[in-house]
Amino acid sequence: MNLNDPVISIKGIGEKSAAALNKAGVFNVSDLLHYFPRTYSVVPEAQKISELSLGARAVVKGRIMGGCSLFSSKGKSVLSFDVGDGTGKLKVYYFGMPYMKKSFPPGRTLILLGNVSFKGDVAVMAQPKVLSEDEYESTKGTLIPVYPETAGLKSATVLKAVKEIISISDRLKDYLPETVINKETLVSLSKAFYDIHFPASREELYAARKRLAFDELFLFIARIQMLKSSTEKEENSFKIDYGQADGVVSGFISKLPYELTGAQLKAINDIKKDMTGEGVAKRLVQGDVGSGKTVVAFAAALMAVSAGYQAAIMAPTEVLAMQHYNEILELTEKYGLPFKTGILTGSVGKADKRRCKELLSDGSLNLVIGTHALLEEDVLFNELALVVTDEQHRFGVAQRRTLSKKGGTPHTVVMSATPIPRTLGLILYGDMDVSLIDELPAKRLERKNAVVDIDYRETFYKFLVKHIREEQVQAYIICPMVEASESEELGMAGDLANVTDYTETLREKLPGDIRISMLHGRMKPAEKNEIMKDFSEHKTDVLVSTTVVEVGVNVPNATIMLVENAERFGLSQLHQLRGRVGRGDKQAYCVFMTGTKGDVSKNTQKRLNILKESNDGFKIAEEDLKQRGPGDFFGLRQSGLPYFKIADIYTDAEMVGRVKAVLQDMTDDGQGGLKALETALRESGNLSYSEFHNIYL
Ligand code: ADP
Ligand code: MG
C-alpha cells in the first residue's frame, strides 16, 4: 500500500464508500491519514440504571424484560422494549429497523451504549449501540475516534478504512530538522499520525495534536513568507483624481438614509487616499459583525467606476454575493449610481455566464459581484482597478492574489469580521494597511441575549409568535445538523436538532399564519438563493437554518435568533451567528439554548454566559479559551478560518510566535533555508501537506 493509492484499493472500501470519501475530499491513502477525527468518544464503565443521569453517555448491562413491540409513528417504524438490571427500568427505541425485532428476544442480556434521556421518571436510550462482551471489555476506557460525517459518509466507514491503512504511518519520514523537534518537544510525524487516530491516552492525543498543529502553522507560515518575499510595493497604475473621487463619494454618502459612523467615514477616506496616491492600495478593513463594512466596499467601487475603471467584489458564498448584487441594483436605481453591474457565481446559467464574461472583457460592465467563479481563468477584465474581497478570512491568500493578477495591479481592499490575533494578523496581512471600524451605528439598540435550557423552548415559541404577529419581525432558528444523523445508530449524536425534522415539527407546532422555511448547505445554490431571497423580502417569517447564514447575511428586519444545541458551537462562531440580528434599529433578541438540562448544562451555560457579558469578538475568543482550558480543543470550531484543519488561531496563538522563530532560524542558517525545507518536504513520503496548503495559498 502506498500513500497515493486511491481509497477504492483499501480493503473493505467499495464503490459507494469510495464515492462518499471522495466527496469529502479524501481521494487517496494520504488524504485519509489527514482526515482527522472530529472528536473522540470513550466507552464508559457500565452503570446501574438507577444511577443514570440525563444527557450522559452511558453503558448499561441488563436483560430484556417482556416482549419487543413494533409499531409505526409518523411513517417510521419503531422498535421498543424494556431492559432491567435489578435497580430500574430502561426504555429502548430503534427507528426504521423493523428487521431487528428478532434480535431482541425476551430474556436476552444486552450491553447497551447510548445517550440517556428521560420520559417522566423512566430512563430512555434511543438507538443505543449493542456491544458484545468482548467489544465492551476491549474498548472500555479507550478513546475511539469520531470522524466528521458528510452526506453519505459515516464515521464508522472512515474508522474501518483508517484501521486498514494506519500502519503506513510508520513509513512517514520526518522533514523537520531534529534540532527543531527536540527543541519544541515534538513527537515524530509517524507517531503523531498514528496517535491522532488511535491515541492510547489523552496525553498521547495532546502530543499528537501539538505536533500536527505545529506542522500546519509551520508550513502555512513558510509558504506565506515565500509568497511575500516575491511581492514588492507596486506603483499605482489606476490613479484616480482626488477631487473627483471626493465629489462622487460625498454625493453618495449624502443620499444614504443614515449617517455613516466616524469609523466608516475614516475607512472610506483611507481608501480614497490610497487610490488617489502613489502606491497601489492594499488595505484590510476590519470591523465586527454589523459594523457596516458593505457600504465602505460600495463607496470604494464607486470611486473606481466613476473614474472609468472596473471593480470586482468577491464574496465567499452565493447567498452573500446575491445579497450584495441585489443591494447594488437597488442603490443604482434609487440614486442613479453609474454602475452597470453583473453577477458571476457557480449557479449562474452557462449563457448568462458567457455574456457576463464578454461584457467584462469589453468593458461594458463596470462592476461585477461574484464568488470563487470570478477566479476562473477565462474571466478577463478590460480595466480592473479595484478588487474588494468580503469576509476575506474565508478565502485563501492565493485566491486573493489570483484575482488581483487579472490585468495590471488593481487596488485591493479586503474586509474581515474575524478578530485575528496580532501575531498571525501580521503574517497574513503584514503587507497591508489597516482601517478599523471600531464603532457600531449609533441608533442600534443593544441586543438582548439569553442562555437557557430546553425547558424554555415553549416560552420562546410564544414569544416568537407574539413578536412576529405584533411587530412583523422575522427570526432565525439555527440547528447544528441538516438531517437526523446516521451517528444516532451509534448513540452519539443523541438528540441534536436538525433542520429537516425541526422545520417539520415547527410547522405542526406554530399557528398556520407563521410562514416557515428552511435552509442548509446541502441544497442546490439556486434553491438556497431563492429561499434567502424570500426571507429577505419578508415572504417568510422564520428561517430554520444551519450555520450557512453565519457569514455576512443581512436581513435587518430579522430581529430574533434562537440557536439550538448552542453547546455544539464555538463562542466566536456564535458571536458571528448572532451578528445576523440587531442590524436595524429594532430591538434584537438572541437566545442560546443548550440541548441538555441540569448539571450537564451548567458548565456549558457558564461558557455561553461570556456571550452575554461581552460584545467584543476578541474578548470572547480569549475568554472562551481560558474557560475551556488548553486541553479541550476538539469539536468546537472557533474561527471558521479555512486554512487549518487542526491548528486553532486562538488556542495556538502562542505557537505562532515559536513557529516564526524556528523559521527565522532556518532562513538565517544559510543552507538555502526554506528551499531546503521544501525539498525535504517533497521527499518526506508524498505527504499531501504541501498540496493541502496549495489549495489555500
Ligand atoms: P457588516 O460589517 O457585518 O458587513 P453590513 O455592512 O452588512 O455589516 O451592515 C449591517 C446593517 O447596518 C446593514 O443593514 C446596513 O444597511 C446598516 N448600516 C450600515 N452602516 C450604517 C450606519 N452608519 N447607520 C445605520 N445603519 C447602517
Ligand atoms: Mg458583511
As a whole number, mean pLDDT of residues 452-476 equals 94
CA of 299 from ligand 1 middle (Å) equals 13
Greater pLDDT, 626 or 89 = 89
- Enter the C-alpha cell of residue 247: 465629489
As a whole number, mean pLDDT of residues 545-551 equals 82
Looking at the structure, give the CATH architecture of the domain made up of residues 242-437: 3-Layer(aba) Sandwich (3.40)
- Do the beta carbons of residue 595 and residue 564 sit within 8 Å? yes
> Can 242-437 and 448-614 be said to share one CATH topology?
yes
Please give the pLDDT value at position 266.
96
Residue 116: CB atoms within 10 Å = 23
As a whole number, mean pLDDT of residues 27-47 equals 87
- Enter the C-alpha cell of residue 43: 466507552
Q: Is 283 left (phi over 0), alpha (psi -120 to 50) or beta?
A: beta
- Sign of the alpha-carbon dihedral angle for 679, 681, 683, 686: negative
Cα dihedral 85/86/89/93 (nearest 10):
20
- Enter the C-alpha cell of residue 198: 488511535
Please give the pLDDT value at position 117.
82
The protein residue with its alpha carbon nearest to ligand 1, atom 17, reads 292
- Enter the C-alpha cell of residue 32: 485519509
Compute the distance between CA of residue 464 and CA of residue 466 in angstroms, rounded to an integer.
5
Greater pLDDT, 254 or 606 = 254
Which atom of ligand 1 is closest in space to residue 264's alpha carbon? 23
pLDDT in tens, 223-247: 777 666 555 567 888 889 889 999 9
In this structure, the residues whose C-beta lies within 6 A of any atom of ligand 1 are 258-261, 264, 287, 289-295, 417, 441, 552, 554, 556, 583
Q: Report the percent of the chain where pLDDT is more than 90.
A: 43
pLDDT in tens, 564-604: 988 878 788 888 889 899 888 889 999 999 876 655 556 67
| CATH 2.40.50.140 assigned to 44-140 | yes
Domain ranges of the chain: 1-41+149-166, 44-140, 242-437, 448-614
DSSP conformation letters of 481-500? BSS--GGGGGT-STT--BHH
Pocket test for ligand 1, best of 294, 313, 444, 553 (most atoms within 8 A of CB): 294
Compute the distance between CA of residue 113 and CA of residue 327 in angstroms, rounded to an integer.
52
Q: What angle do CA 27, 547, 456 make, to 5 degrees?
A: 135
As a whole number, mean pLDDT of residues 8-29 equals 92
pLDDT confidence tier of residue 301, bands split at 50, 70 and 90: very high
- Enter the C-alpha cell of residue 238: 489606476
Pocket test for ligand 1, best of 258, 326, 577 (most atoms within 8 A of CB): 258
Question: Which numbered ligand comes closest to the C-alpha of 441?
Answer: 1
As a whole number, mean pLDDT of residues 354-358 equals 95
pLDDT confidence tier of residue 675, bands split at 50, 70 and 90: low
Greater pLDDT, 673 or 48 = 48
CA of 553 from ligand 2 middle (Å) equals 7
- Sign of the alpha-carbon dihedral angle for 37, 40, 41, 43: positive
Please give the pLDDT value at position 16.
93
CA of 289 from ligand 2 middle (Å) equals 7
CA of 307 from ligand 1 middle (Å) equals 26
| CATH 3.40.50.880 assigned to 448-614 | no
Please give the pLDDT value at position 402.
61
Q: Name the nearest CA neighbour of 593 among 462, 458, 482.
A: 458
Compute the distance between CA of residue 69 and CA of residue 174 in angstroms, rounded to an integer.
57
pLDDT in tens, 39-74: 887 788 899 999 888 767 889 999 999 889 999 877
